[in-house]
Amino acid sequence: MEQKRDDTARDAVPAFDWDPRSEEVQADQIAAYDAMRGRCPVALGAQGNWAVFGHADNRAILEDPRSFSNAVSAHLTVPNGMDPPEHGPYRAIVDKYYTPWRMHAFEPTCRRIAHRLVAGLARDTEVDAMAALAEPFANEVQCAFMGWPETLHGPLREWTRKNQAATLRLDRKAMSAIALEFDGYIREQLETRREARTSGAEPPMDATTELLGEQIDGRPLTDEEIVSIVRNWTVGELGTIAASVGILVRFLARHPDVQGDLRARRHDAGLLARASDEILRIDAPLIANRRRTTREVEVGGRIIPAGERVVVLWASANRDEAVFDHADEFRLDRNPADNLLYGEGIHACPGAPLARLELSVLLQELLGATASIEPAGEEPRRAAYPSGGWSTVGVRLA
C-alpha cells in the first residue's frame, strides 16, 4: 500500500512549471512575471510553451534567428514569420513605409485625429480613456496611415472586440473566421484601387495603393503577400497602440509629478517619445512574442529540445532588476538600448517610428488641452494574456 501511495504522489506532480493562463497570473500579469523571473527564469508552461523571463536570455534569443525561428504560424506571415534569407527582401519592402520623411509627412494627419479626439473628451467627470480615446485613436490613425475610408472605423472597432474575445477564449474556429473577415476588408481596399485604375481614374496615393506596385525577386507581390503585410501592420497597431495609450494615461493620472514635468516640456516631441518608451517599459502593452527552436539549445541553464515553442516575454525582460534597478521607477536617464519594447535584431518592430510618432503626438495634444489628469472610478482589471495594458482606464480631466 505504501509503495502505491508513493507512485500516485509521484504521478501527480505536474509536468510543467507554471500556467500563464491561470487566474492567479491573470489577476496581475506583471506581478506574476516579476515573481517568476526570480523563482524560475525559464519555465515550461501548461500549454507546452517555454517562457523566458530574463533580459539577457531574451536578448540572446532575439539576436539568434538561426536557433530561434520566427516561422511559428501555419499561415503566411510577411515578413515577421520568415527567417533569413527569405526574410530580408520582404523586410526591405516594409521598412520603406516607416522612413523619417514618411513619418514627417504623416504627422499633421496624426495630430488632427489626436486633437479632435482629445477635444471631444468630457471634462470634470469620469471618462474611460480606453473607450473614449485609446481605441478610437488607434483605429482612426491606422486607417489614415493606410488610406482607408472612415466607413471602416466602426467595423474595425467591432472586429477588434471580437478578435480579443476569441483569443481570450482560445476559440480556434472563431479566430480563423475572424481572421478571414479582416482579410476581406483588406482585399476590398485592394479591389477598390484596381477598379479605379481599370476605369481610368487615379487611385489614392496611399500605402495600400503603393503596396500594389511592390515587387519581390522581379515579380509583383501576390495578394496573399500584401494581405499578410497589411494584416501584420494593422492588427498589431489596433491592439498595441490602444493598449499603449491606456497605459500612458493611467500612468500620468497616478504620477502627478511625472505628469507635471511632461506637461511643462510637452513641446519637446523627442522627450515625450523617450518618456513613452520608459512608461511602456514599466507596464508593457505587448506581453510576448513567439519563437521555435531549430536545434537543441540551452537557455538560462535549461535544455530546450529542437522544435519547441519559446515565448519571449517583453513584459518581464524590461523589468529585469539586473538591468533596470528600481524597475518601477520612471527614469529618463536609463540606456534606451536596453529597452526591448520594440524588440531587437532582424525582427525588431518596423513600425516603431510610427508608434513613437503617434504616442508622442497624442501626449502633446492631451497635455496641452488639459490642466490635470486624475484617477477616477474603480481600479480596473488588467487585460488578459496575451494582451497587455488595462481593460478600462477611468480618469477625470480638467
Specify the CATH number for the domain of residue 64: 1.10.630.10
Cell numbers placing 289:
512574442
Instruction: Look at residue 157 in the predicted model and tell me its pLDDT.
Output: 84
Residue 8 maps to a domain: no
Q: Work out how many domains the chain is built from and give that number.
A: 1
Residue 84 maps to a domain: yes
Angstrom distances, CA of residue 116 to CA of 119, 132, 133, 178, 245? 5, 12, 10, 30, 16
Confidence of residue 386 (pLDDT cuts 50, 70, 90): confident
Instruction: Look at residue 14 in the predicted model and tell me its pLDDT.
Output: 58
Contact 65, 327 (CB under 8 A): no
Q: What is the pLDDT of residues 82-122, one digit of tens each?
A: 999 999 999 999 999 999 999 999 999 999 999 999 999 99
The whole-number average pLDDT for the span 324-340 is 97
Write down the residue that cell numbers 502505491 correspond to: 4
The whole-number average pLDDT for the span 20-33 is 90
Residue 5 maps to a domain: no
Residue 205 maps to a domain: yes
- Residue range of the domain that includes 137: 14-397
Which candidate, 132, 126, 157, 110, places its Cα nearest to that of 362?
Answer: 110
Higher pLDDT, 154 or 372: 372
Instruction: Look at residue 75 in the predicted model and tell me its pLDDT.
Output: 84
Q: What is the pLDDT of residues 223-242, one digit of tens each?
A: 999 999 998 888 878 889 99
- Asked if residue 11 has pLDDT above 70, the reply is no
Contact 241, 156 (CB under 8 A): no
Which candidate, 386, 257, 209, 376, places its Cα nearest to that of 315?
Answer: 386
Contact 117, 109 (CB under 8 A): no
Residue 9 maps to a domain: no
- Asked if residue 6 has pLDDT above 50, the reply is no
Residue 2 maps to a domain: no
The predicted model scores a pTM of 0.92
Which candidate, 20, 70, 61, 16, places its Cα nearest to that of 298?
Answer: 61
Contact 378, 250 (CB under 8 A): no
Residue 3 maps to a domain: no
Q: Where are the beta strands (DSSP E) in the chain?
A: 42-44, 49-52, 68-69, 126-128, 215-216, 219-220, 288-293, 297-299, 302-304, 309-313, 373-375, 394-397
Q: What is the pLDDT of residues 40-82, one digit of tens each?
A: 999 999 999 999 999 999 999 999 999 999 999 888 899 999 9
The whole-number average pLDDT for the span 309-331 is 96
Residue 4 maps to a domain: no
User: Which of 63-72, 147-156, 386-395 is predicted most confidently?
Assistant: 63-72
Contact 359, 276 (CB under 8 A): yes
The whole-number average pLDDT for the span 211-227 is 95
